[in-house]
């Protein structure tokens, strides 16, 4: 790309060197991600004192952590559309630069003499005219909201992205449009309660403002945005991956989960509210992620290893899928989390060394039938919010006996068909 503004490049050669250093660094992705995680952890720790937070809970910490992760992924996505730079290079710049969030509580503590500042979302109660709030975003609301440290943070981030977008596009107007988009994104995330409240009001669903609700919303956004980024980064690889993980079997198990939901709705007086709304999305995502773990670990998935990516990458990715499935299950309820873990564990015993139960007739069919029962139970317990013992006992023989017999007959027919072909 020709250099159109030599004066700008000369004056920003240090900035260029920093960007190139991050983009071409030999550090692994894990190091970049850990840098982001620990920067956010330090921000959360310092904000306890800066915002004078008396009651800190795991849900609150995860809520704020997923807020930043969702924000970072969205910044990467928007930066891709603005600059058309490679996604992996953008991510290598964006994630470590989140170290800037540590400045907010430090600056607030120093400026206030240790008293800190009350940082809050823009809520439905003080939203007023959103258009006015958009253009006066940095002034805060009602004596709270945007602190001096946040003003400094936002200004630094906007200046950084103005330079970054210009460095990548050499178009000043496009760069200005880019920082307007980034500014709008900050405003959007800081008005999350207003957006969620309006969304549930539109659906006529009771809105409960809790840390867990925001945690669920950000987790869902993380999954969606990560999927989009994966497709934009390596679309062909993603399509091949999805083709080789036995997607129809995954759809079958998701269908069994849906049947459990239907039965639970029939048997209980279920009331839809904001506390259980996102569970309808997060639970299927957790099941899918658990299935991805199983598919990769399946003795081994030779078709997957033939997709042009090293074997150890898939094996490491499988653990990411497993941990993510546990997280998404936990975001629904402990019971759903535990059942998804048992589902993944059963299939691990079924397909992976040392036992590889799938090679043992009858026992293999029992494991598959048991997992179908587990997902049916997952749907039922998610809806009823009951305990494991509330699950109707007559479904055990229905699944374990009829399901096992069906699979034995089905596999026997397939075996005979293969023998005919071989003859």
pLDDT at 226: 97
Alpha helices for 191-278 (secondary structure H) = 192-202, 211-243, 247-267, 274-277
Of the listed ranges 10-24, 278-292, 332-346, 347-361, the one predicted with least confidence: 10-24
What is residue 144's three-state secondary structure? strand
CA distance 229 to 232: 5
Asked whether residue 5 carries a pLDDT value surpassing 70, the answer given is: no
Asked whether residue 308 carries a pLDDT value surpassing 60, the answer given is: no
Single pTM value for the model: 0.90
Q: And the tokens for 41?
A: 């952890």
Mean pLDDT of the region 165-175? 95
Determine the straight-line distance between the first and last CA of the chain, rounded to whole angstroms. 63
CA distance 351 to 340: 17
The residue whose two tokens read 């079924």 is 350
Asked whether residue 62 carries a pLDDT value surpassing 70, the answer given is: yes
Q: What is the pLDDT of residues 16-60, one digit of tens each?
A: 889 999 998 888 888 999 999 999 999 999 988 887 776 688 999
Mean pLDDT of the region 125-136? 74
DSSP state of 423: -
DSSP state of 273: B
pLDDT band at 394 (very low <50, low <70, confident <90, very high): very high
The dihedral through the CA atoms of 408, 414, 418, 423 has a sign that is: positive
Is 1.10.357 the CATH classification of the domain at 244-422? yes
234: left (phi over 0), alpha (psi -120 to 50) or beta: beta
- Residue length, the chain? 423
Share the mean pLDDT of the chain. Answer: 87
pLDDT at 305: 55
Of the listed ranges 80-84, 165-169, 179-183, 357-361, the one predicted with least confidence: 357-361
pLDDT at 333: 96
Asked whether residue 310 carries a pLDDT value surpassing 80, the answer given is: no
pLDDT at 307: 52
CA distance 35 to 210: 28
CA distance 270 to 309: 46
- Of the candidates 183, 211, 222, the one whose C-alpha atom is nearest the C-alpha of residue 44 is 211
Domain ranges of the chain: 6-229, 244-422
pLDDT at 254: 98
What is residue 130's three-state secondary structure? helix
pLDDT band at 116 (very low <50, low <70, confident <90, very high): confident
Q: Please name the residues in contact with 338: beta carbons below 8 A apart, sequence gap of 6 or more.
A: 329
Cα 253 to Cα 191, 256, 377: the distances in Å are: 37, 5, 12
Asked whether residue 417 carries a pLDDT value surpassing 50, the answer given is: no
Asked whether residue 421 carries a pLDDT value surpassing 50, the answer given is: no
pLDDT at 413: 63
pLDDT at 206: 92
Instruction: Find the Cα–Cα–Cα–Cα dihedral 256, 258, 264, 270, rounded to 10°.
Output: 170
Of the listed ranges 188-202, 297-311, 372-386, the one predicted with least confidence: 297-311
CA distance 197 to 204: 10
pLDDT at 117: 79
């Amino acid at each position: 790309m020709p250099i159109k503004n030599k004066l700008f490049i000369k004056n920003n050669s240090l900035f260029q060197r920093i960007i190139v250093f991050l983009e071409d660094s030999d550090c692994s992705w894990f190091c970049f991600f850990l840098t982001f995680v620990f920067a956010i952890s330090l921000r959360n720790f310092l904000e306890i004192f800066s915002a004078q937070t008396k009651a800190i809970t795991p849900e609150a910490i995860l809520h704020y952590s997923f807020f930043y992760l969702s924000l970072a992924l969205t910044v990467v996505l928007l930066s891709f559309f603005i600059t058309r730079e490679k996604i992996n290079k953008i991510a290598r710049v964006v994630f470590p630069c989140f170290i800037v969030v540590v400045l907010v509580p430090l600056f607030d503590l120093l400026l206030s003499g240790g008293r800190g500042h009350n940082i809050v979302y823009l809520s439905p109660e003080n939203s007023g005219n959103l258009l006015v709030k958009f253009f006066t975003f940095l002034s805060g609301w009602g004596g709270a909201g945007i602190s001096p440290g946040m003003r400094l943070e936002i200004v630094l981030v906007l200046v950084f992205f103005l330079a970054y977008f210009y460095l990548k596009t050499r178009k000043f107007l496009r760069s200005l449009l880019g920082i307007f988009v980034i500014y709008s994104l900050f405003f959007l995330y800081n008005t999350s309660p207003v957006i969620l409240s309006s969304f549930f009001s539109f659906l006529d669903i009771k809105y409960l403002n809790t840390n867990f609700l925001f945690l669920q919303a950000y987790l869902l956004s993380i999954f969606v945005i990560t999927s989009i980024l994966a497709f934009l980064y390596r679309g062909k690889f993603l399509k091949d991956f999805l083709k080789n993980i036995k997607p129809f079997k995954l759809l079958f198990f998701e269908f069994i989960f849906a049947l459990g939901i239907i039965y639970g709705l029939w048997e209980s007086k279920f009331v839809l509210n904001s506390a259980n709304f996102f569970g309808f999305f997060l639970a299927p995502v957790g099941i899918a992620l658990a299935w991805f773990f199983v598919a990769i670990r399946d003795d081994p998935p030779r078709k997957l290893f033939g997709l042009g990516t090293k074997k150890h990458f898939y094996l490491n990715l499988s653990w990411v899928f497993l941990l993510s499935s546990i997280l998404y299950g936990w975001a629904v309820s402990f019971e759903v989390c535990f059942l998804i873990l048992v589902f993944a564990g059963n299939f691990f015993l079924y397909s992976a060394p040392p036992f590889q139960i799938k090679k043992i007739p009858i026992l293999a069919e029992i494991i598959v039938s048991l997992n179908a029962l587990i997902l049916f139970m997952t749907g039922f317990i998610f809806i009823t919010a009951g305990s494991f013992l509330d699950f109707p006992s007559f479904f055990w023989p229905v699944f374990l006996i009829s399901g096992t017999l069906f699979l034995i007959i089905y596999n026997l027919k397939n075996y005979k068909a293969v023998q005919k072909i071989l003859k």
